[in-house]
Amino acid sequence: MGSTMDDMITVTDLFSTAMAEARLPDHEGLCGELGELFLRREAEDQKVRNETQRATQFGPLFESRFDLFRWPDPPVKRLAHFCHASLAQLIRQLSSYSDEDFGKLRFDYHSWFHVTRKGGFQGLHNHQNASWSGIFCVDPGDSPTDRPDSGLVRFHDPRVCSWYHAEAGNLGLNMPYRHGGFDISHKAGRLVMFPSFLMHEIFPYQGERPRIVVAFNCSIN
């Protein structure tokens, strides 16, 4: 029996970009506690506000200092444990570290919370001085049904030349070979993890209820 074309072609996944998600079981209780805590701390303003004014942040968007995972509050400790366990599992899954070498790794986190109100958004940016970043949704808010792009997180293709020419030969590719951006709508209790170099932006939030998320950067050495 002769060979088919499928037998003759070998595909290598070059330059792949991993993105992962984890869902916190029974998240409602913890997310409720976190939401109440963050709104109280936001009201205290300067005690927790990040003093750095970022050129990519616009409108009514509150950002805390980057020490969140070091807070002593029990709800924050539970969230920090979940985020760390999820990221550690992801690194184990994607890497070839032995158990001994993995045990030597040290995870250094910068973490913070955002409260975004109607009209707040973030321009295109990435997260420097880290290998992995994450966004955990505490409360997605209440975006209007006629604005599906409200608060959308858009990740941009890191292959900077891939969009220079578009035609049928590359527009119909399946993941992970597809070109262009990748959009995520926040869902309560979901953690999204991605390489820190990945450029992304957050579209203007149009809801009436505050949107609350936790973000982190992790340097692993």
Residue 2 forms part of a structural domain: no
Q: Residues 9-66: pLDDT tens digits? A: 888 888 889 999 999 999 999 999 999 999 999 998 778 999 888 899 999 999 999 9
Taking Cα atoms as reference points, which of 203, 22, 196, 50 lies closest to residue 114?
A: 50
Window from 82-86, 153-157, 172-176 with minimum mean pLDDT: 172-176
Structurally, the chain folds into a number of domains equal to: 1
pLDDT at residue 7 above 90? no
Residue 103 forms part of a structural domain: yes
Residue 163 forms part of a structural domain: no
Q: Give the whole-angstrom CA distance, residue 173 versus residue 15.
A: 15
The half-sphere exposure of 102 on its side-chain side, counting CA atoms within 13 A, is 13
> Which CATH number goes with the domain that contains 134?
2.60.120.620
Enclosing domain of residue 74: 30-44+56-158+181-220
**pLDDT level of residue 144 (50, 70, 90 thresholds):** confident
Residue 24 forms part of a structural domain: no
Residue 8 forms part of a structural domain: no
pLDDT computed for residue 8 by the predictor:
85
Contact present, 1 and 178 (Cβ < 8 Å): no
**pLDDT level of residue 2 (50, 70, 90 thresholds):** low
Q: Residues 105-136: pLDDT tens digits? A: 999 999 999 999 999 999 999 998 999 999 99
Residue 20 forms part of a structural domain: no
Residue 147 forms part of a structural domain: yes
Residue 166 forms part of a structural domain: no
pLDDT computed for residue 4 by the predictor:
60
**pLDDT level of residue 5 (50, 70, 90 thresholds):** low
Residue 40, helix vs strand vs coil:
helix
